Amino acid sequence: MSWEPVIGLEIHVQLKTKTKMFCRCPVGFGAGENTQTCPVCLGFPGALPVTNRVAVEWTILLGLALDCTIAERAVFARKNYFYPDLPKGYQISQYDLPLCKDGKMLVPTADGDRVIGIVRAHLEEDAAKTVHVGGSTGRIGGAAWSLVDYNRGGTPLVEIVTAPDLHSPEEAKRFLQLLRQTIVELGISDAEMEKGTLRVDANVSVRPAGSDELRTRTEIKNMNSFTFIARGIEAEVERQIAVWEAGEEVRQETYDFDAATGRLTPRRAKEEADDYRYFPEPDLVPVEPDRRLVERLRAELPELPAARIRRIEGELGLERAIVLVTGGLDRLWQETVEAGADALAAANVVANNLVRAGVDPELVSPKELAKLVGARERIPRVAFDEAIARLGEPGFSADPYLAREAVSDVAALDPLVDAILAAHPEQVAAYRGGKEGLLGFFVGQVMRETDGTANPRVVSDLLREKLAG
């Protein structure tokens, strides 16, 4: 029997407002522990929360980008649980009346757009950061005590919940890349997994291909990169298929994914089911977004990544278009093409050379980049690489690099090529025996001997000719 994965995601995004969700303590990394706290975010008795207007507007903006219905009336609710990272004994979240619901995001694929449902996007406050110390094993269970830093506590957090519409680990990864890029472009969050400003949990089940039943799902947590998310889901899908095929039942459990081993570890089962006893937060009044504000935000929405992928894929092909757009590189590519560069060549240079050199695309002059793209086969490789690496420097000019000519003189290269071939008789024999991929090896040898000044195209033509002979 063949199986189909059914995947839903729960995404938490930390907003980059200047202040916290319900108090005006500054938000930011790197401040001394507990120095960005006040009676509200420390949960001191009698302290009263006040909603951050910008956090509400940004959540509406994100909701609009995800094609959600923006609530006429949204209500904050207390989610009660007892935990030191939550000093009040509850988290202020939203429950039955979230700010945004019933949206969708399109994921462009070779077979048309996949429509991924967005169940809701609501606003809540982040928990504090805890450090576990002591204990013999160094694990949480063996810790003697916990140390708590409330700086992060109370930071605005948007929770986005998708419908179980994703059907492969790869699709989940693509959806997340697109969602992340959308969030970054809206300017509401850094959305960096390494920093924890973007966090993803996955709900996974499998079903016989072609059926529309929903079987028991499990939850995977602690995946801190898109690649690990895809791998974690993959591992869980395989595990569940094996369970069903062995005639057993999948149990509802939560797993941690260990990226180092690729293993899923079940969390110790809770003594009882979650009982959050949600109720409306009496310290906050409802939010009823002004329709003029909603329409103004809708009008301000930029062209979104999925639409841009569709717009440029005709020129570049879908895969290249996705790489450029989800990498935040398509605007530079577009402007470089407008400055006269060949579309495909510019796409390759931007997506490969520029990214490898770690250059910030925002700092690059498209005009200078276009010059380099045009000259990349004529000038020495070293000159090209050096120019790419310096593209982000203020006032960078490509002109001095364009003046440097690669050695294209066959007469000058000929003896060097002969010497290289003579020094590697085994590789020559292998090449002639059919391993033509070795051409790159020989080109590399010549480039090294010439300190990167030879014209690679002339070198490979010369090599091909001699190796054929």
Partner 1 sequence: MPISRDDVLHVARLARLALTEDEVERLTHELADIVEAVGIVAELDLEGVPPTSHPRGLVNVMDDDEPRPPLPLEDVLANAPDHEGNLFRVPAWRQ
Where along the sequence are the contacts to partner 1 (CB under 8 A)?
17-19, 24-26, 32-39, 42, 50-56, 73, 75, 80-84, 89, 131-132, 134-135, 140-141, 143-150, 267-268, 272, 275, 277, 280-282, 284-288, 290
* Nearest distance, CB of residue 143 and partner 1, angstroms: 5
Contact indicator for 235, 264 with CB cutoff of 8 Å: yes
Specify the residue, 71 or 447, whose C-beta has the smaller distance to partner 1.
71
Helices 318-326, 305-316: crossing angle, 10 deg rounding? 140
Nearest to residue 198, comparing CAs of 46, 13, 449? 13
In angstroms, what is the C-alpha Rg of the chain? 28
Specify the residue, 53 or 263, whose C-beta has the smaller distance to partner 1.
53
* Nearest distance, CB of residue 407 and partner 1, angstroms: 59
* Nearest distance, CB of residue 395 and partner 1, angstroms: 35
* Nearest distance, CB of residue 26 and partner 1, angstroms: 4
CA–CA separation, 37 vs 150, rounded Å? Answer: 7
* Nearest distance, CB of residue 333 and partner 1, angstroms: 34
CA–CA separation, 429 vs 413, rounded Å? Answer: 22
* Nearest distance, CB of residue 305 and partner 1, angstroms: 26
Nearest to residue 380, comparing CAs of 296, 284, 466, 451? 451
Burial class (CB in 10 A: 0-12, 13-18, 19+), 233: buried
CA–CA separation, 316 vs 311, rounded Å? Answer: 10
DSSP class of 353: I
* Nearest distance, CB of residue 337 and partner 1, angstroms: 38
CA–CA separation, 278 vs 78, rounded Å? Answer: 5
CA–CA separation, 173 vs 231, rounded Å? Answer: 10
Specify the residue, 128 or 417, whose C-beta has the smaller distance to partner 1.
128
Specify the residue, 73 or 435, whose C-beta has the smaller distance to partner 1.
73
Question: Which segments within 178-226 are labelled E, that is strand?
Answer: 198-208, 218-223
CA–CA separation, 128 vs 20, rounded Å? Answer: 12
* Nearest distance, CB of residue 80 and partner 1, angstroms: 7
* Nearest distance, CB of residue 166 and partner 1, angstroms: 26
Specify the residue, 155 or 445, whose C-beta has the smaller distance to partner 1.
155
Specify the residue, 46 or 82, whose C-beta has the smaller distance to partner 1.
82
Specify the residue, 132 or 466, whose C-beta has the smaller distance to partner 1.
132
Specify the residue, 33 or 249, whose C-beta has the smaller distance to partner 1.
33
Specify the residue, 143 or 357, whose C-beta has the smaller distance to partner 1.
143
Partners of 118 in beta bridges: 103, 162
* Nearest distance, CB of residue 127 and partner 1, angstroms: 11
Q: Helix H segments across 206-348?
A: 226-245, 291-300, 305-316, 318-326, 330-338, 343-348
Specify the residue, 82 or 434, whose C-beta has the smaller distance to partner 1.
82
CA–CA separation, 149 vs 160, rounded Å? Answer: 26
∠ Cα 416 420 422 (to 5°):
115
CA–CA separation, 1 vs 210, rounded Å? Answer: 11
